[in-house]
């Protein structure tokens, strides 16, 4: 089993060499630009889950890349002036600031469609189905956020962040061909990851959960989420040591 | 076999009653708004092809709806101020003019993801794969259009319009479970439809092909495209009378 860092390098290389659809013509420039940088957390969780489930990480690479493309799609559209109006992303101009709004809208669209192309490279439709559901949940979360209509913090983050983290485990299970009846303990683990990621994100940014629960309160919630995730992993009948390392990394990360 | 009008009613009813993903929350309002109106040309071609291929039209309804959702997605994003800046669509405010730009961006995203959900409701991945390819071609065409970088008129329209028309036939073949080795004559027909639609569109709007070939020249090109489409249909080993009616309708439409 490879370490999280080795799996991250695998995702990075795959994305760097990803053959985009030639019919996109010059649009590929902004798509590649939007794919540079990022921690690849979702892709790494996907590969680590696939390896823990007994598959080669390589078998889950299209799924891992699809998750990273959906994540990149959401950032490109969220950064638009009409949404979060962020001119910077990962220390560089955001896609719209670099290529203009029109090309950035299309770049997000292309990332999403390419993500489905990747998820559909498997000989079965389940990975694509799960990606569609997760994407729709994420869009719903973004709607609740920008319109300030979320019923509560938990619902908001479960949709905005949790769906795609859960799908990072889910797509790996399909890619590793884990039968549906054996997926439940894995999925229970996947359901805990988004919240852990989100709370730590808010601690690092000093907003969100820190604003509502204070820094100490947020730290406590993060520790509880990490502890639940480890507990769920203990129920998974496999060597989940790399996934445990990933949970530790998510809980203690400083960037 | 049902007439084109009967098939159109079928598409319309299906879209009207379409269950959207509940996790979209309030975002469903703008998605439904963007789905009102339109001629349903792509959906009708899809159902008529499925019936000609020996299936029940109902079997192709998710595919037909997926095509209409991708078309609606493209209109919602193309209408945005940063792209075509159209405040009106089908005699009503366009999505951004009605809901604001932010919600319109998300509405387009949701339409695209719902389209994949529909195309993936089949027990095989091929319909979804073809939808992804067609969508990517369409996005590439839109990029060439807004950046004025198309190598020629033919390439532009083949991508912007042709891909989704060709996929209207293609998705029907998968939905009707026509084996791949028997798909070629059907696909040759599908490849002619986008151009026919586009030229007539330009004749009605007095731009595009009319600007480059004059009205008479454009009319002649449209007649040639219709004639090629009929010729391709003649090579299809099935009762294609409804598809012939659709070609006649595309060639002679006045709106």
The stretch B21-44 carries a mean pLDDT of 97
pLDDT level of residue A255 (50, 70, 90 thresholds): confident
Evaluate if residue A1 carries a pLDDT over 90: no
pLDDT level of residue B255 (50, 70, 90 thresholds): confident
Residue-level pLDDT at B29: 98
The stretch A29-38 carries a mean pLDDT of 97
Subunit contact A23:B77, Cβ cutoff 8 A:
no
Interface residue of B28, B105, B152 to substitute, partner A, most A CBs within 10 Å:
B105
Subunit contact A105:B114, Cβ cutoff 8 A:
no
Give the CA dihedral A161, A165, A170, A176, nearest 10 degrees. Answer: 150
C-alpha distances out from residue B91 to A53, B13, B40, B86, B88, Å: 54, 21, 16, 11, 6
Nearest-CB residue to B132 (from A83, A102, A120)? A120
Nearest-CB residue to A137 (from B23, B133, B135)? B23
A198 in contact with chain B, both atoms CB, cutoff 8 A: no
Nearest-CB residue to A143 (from B103, B124, B139)? B103
Question: Which positions in chain B touch A24 (Cβ < 8 Å)?
Answer: 136, 139-140, 143
Rounded Cα distance, B153 and B146, in Å: 13
Subunit contact A23:B100, Cβ cutoff 8 A:
no
Subunit contact B132:A122, Cβ cutoff 8 A:
no
A27 in contact with chain B, both atoms CB, cutoff 8 A: yes
Residue-level pLDDT at B175: 98
Question: Strand B88-89 relative to strand A88-89: parallel, antiparallel, unpaired?
Answer: unpaired
3-state secondary structure of B191: helix
Span A52-69, pLDDT tens digits: 999 999 999 999 999 999
Please, are residues B79 and B89 in contact by the beta-carbon 8 Å criterion? Answer: yes
Residue-level pLDDT at B1: 87
Rounded Cα distance, A218 and B108, in Å: 35
Question: Which of these, B48, B50, B55, B64, lies nearest to B13 by C-alpha position?
Answer: B64
Subunit contact B146:A108, Cβ cutoff 8 A:
no
Subunit contact B128:A105, Cβ cutoff 8 A:
no
Query: Exposed, middle or buried: residue B255 (CB in 10 Å: 0-12, 13-18, 19+)?
Result: exposed
Rounded Cα distance, A158 and A59, in Å: 28
Interface residue of A30, A100, A102 to substitute, partner B, most B CBs within 10 Å:
A102
Nearest-CB residue to A24 (from B25, B125, B136)? B136
Distance from CA of B7 to the nearest CA of A (A): 27
Q: Which of residues 129-188 of B touch A (CB under 8 A)?
A: 129, 131-133, 135-137, 139-144, 146-147, 149, 159, 163
The stretch A99-128 carries a mean pLDDT of 98
Considering only residues B113 and A254, tell me which one the structure prediction assigns the higher pLDDT: B113
Nearest-CB residue to B113 (from A101, A132, A146)? A132
Q: How many percent of chain A have pLDDT more than 90?
A: 98
Subunit contact B106:A143, Cβ cutoff 8 A:
yes
Question: Which positions in chain B touch A82 (Cβ < 8 Å)?
Answer: 100-102, 105
The stretch B84-100 carries a mean pLDDT of 97
Rounded Cα distance, B173 and B243, in Å: 14
Asked casually if ipTM beats, i.e. exceeds, 0.95, the reply is yes
The stretch A83-99 carries a mean pLDDT of 97
Question: Which positions in chain A touch B144 (Cβ < 8 Å)?
Answer: 25-26
Average pLDDT of chain A, as a whole number: 97
Residue-level pLDDT at A13: 98
The stretch A140-164 carries a mean pLDDT of 95
Residue-level pLDDT at B152: 92
Interface residue of B18, B63, B86, B116 to substitute, partner A, most A CBs within 10 Å:
B116
Q: Which of residues 220-249 of B touch A (CB under 8 A)?
A: none
In the 3-class helix/strand/coil scheme, how is A31-65 assigned residue by residue? HHHHCCCCCCHHHHHHHHHHHHCCCCHHHHHHHHH
Pick the range with the lowest mean pLDDT from A50-54, A151-155, B167-171, B245-249. A151-155
Span A185-209, pLDDT tens digits: 999 999 999 999 999 999 999 999 9
Closest residue, chain A, to B151 (C-alpha):
A25
Q: Which of residues 78-117 of B touch A (CB under 8 A)?
A: 80, 82-83, 100-103, 105-106, 108-110, 112-114, 116-117
Residue-level pLDDT at A157: 93
Output the CA torsion sign for A149, A155, A159, A165: positive
Subunit contact B103:A149, Cβ cutoff 8 A:
no
3-state secondary structure of A11: helix
The stretch A116-128 carries a mean pLDDT of 98
Residue-level pLDDT at B88: 97
Please, are residues B200 and B222 in contact by the beta-carbon 8 Å criterion? Answer: yes
């Amino acid at each position: 089993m490879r370490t999280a860092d080795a799996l991250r390098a695998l995702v990075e290389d795959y994305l760097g060499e990803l053959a985009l659809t030639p019919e996109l013509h010059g649009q590929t420039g902004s798509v590649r630009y939007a794919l540079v940088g990022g921690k690849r957390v979702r892709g790494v969780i996907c590969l680590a889950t696939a390896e823990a489930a007994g598959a080669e990480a390589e078998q889950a690479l299209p799924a891992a890349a699809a998750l990273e493309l959906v994540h990149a799609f959401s950032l490109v559209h969220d950064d638009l002036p009409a949404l979060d109006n962020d001119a910077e992303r990962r220390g560089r101009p955001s896609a719209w600031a670099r290529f203009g709004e029109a090309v950035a809208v299309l770049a997000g669209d292309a990332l999403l469609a390419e993500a489905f192309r990747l998820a559909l490279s498997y000989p079965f439709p389940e990975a694509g189905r799960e990606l569609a559901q997760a994407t729709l949940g994420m869009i719903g979360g973004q709607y609740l956020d920008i319109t300030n209509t979320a019923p509560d913090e938990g619902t908001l983050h479960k949709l905005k962040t949790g769906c795609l983290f859960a799908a990072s485990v889910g797509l790996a299970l399909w890619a590793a061909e884990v039968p549906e009846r054996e997926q439940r303990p894995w999925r229970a683990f996947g359901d805990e990851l988004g919240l852990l990621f989100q709370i730590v994100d808010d601690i690092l940014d000093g907003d969100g959960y820190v604003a509502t629960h204070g820094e100490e309160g947020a730290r406590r919630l993060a520790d509880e989420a990490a502890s639940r995730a480890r507990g769920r992993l203990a129920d998974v009948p496999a060597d989940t040591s790399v996934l445990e390392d990933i949970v530790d990394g998510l809980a203690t990360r400083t960037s």
